Amino acid sequence: MSKKPKIRVITLGLIQDKNRLFVSEGYDSVKHQSFYRPLGGGIDFGETSLDALKREFQEEVKGELTNIHYLGCLENIFIYNGKPGHEIIQLYRCDFSDRKFYELDSIPFFEGKREVIAIWVEIDKLISGELVLVPTKLLDFIKT
């Protein structure tokens, strides 16, 4: 008997520095396509989305956040590696407390056992579609 797919509730943090956005790089092996998404992750039972956001940034890149503002809730239904996915996203705009993060080119980290890299990407490349931002609805929240 197969498990019924579940809706995942996550939180993401948009960190923008002028014309750059801080994102993690992913790869869909079925579509043979790289994609980018803001950092964040799952919200644990009994945890607020704000607390989850702070925890995820601490776990992933050892970063403290400041100037945190709630932007809204998004729904994302997608196919990743050939499997359907469904997320409810609590979205925040925020900044790093430590300016050193704005000077780094990349930060490797682990999502479970998978090594991932967080990088700054040019917003123009996301808007033009040269680089794929997921979910694409996030483009509506980027200041240009």
Structure tokens at 118: 């967080």
pLDDT tens, residue by residue, 50-107: 999 999 999 999 999 999 999 999 999 999 999 999 999 999 999 999 999 999 999 9
Of the candidates 125, 45, 87, the residue with the CA atom closest to the CA atom of residue 142: 125
pLDDT (average), residues 5-14? 96
Q: Is residue 72 part of a domain?
A: yes
Residues of the domain holding 67? 8-141
Tokens of 11: 């939180």
What is the average pLDDT score of the chain? 95
In this structure, what CATH number is given to the domain that contains residue 126?
3.90.79.10
| Stretch 35-51: mean pLDDT | 97
- Residue 5's pLDDT is 87
Query: How many domains, the chain?
Result: 1
Could you give the CA distance from residue 138 to residue 90 in angstroms, rounded to a whole number? 11
Report d(CA 143, CA 133) in Å as an integer: 15
* Global model pTM greater than 0.75: yes
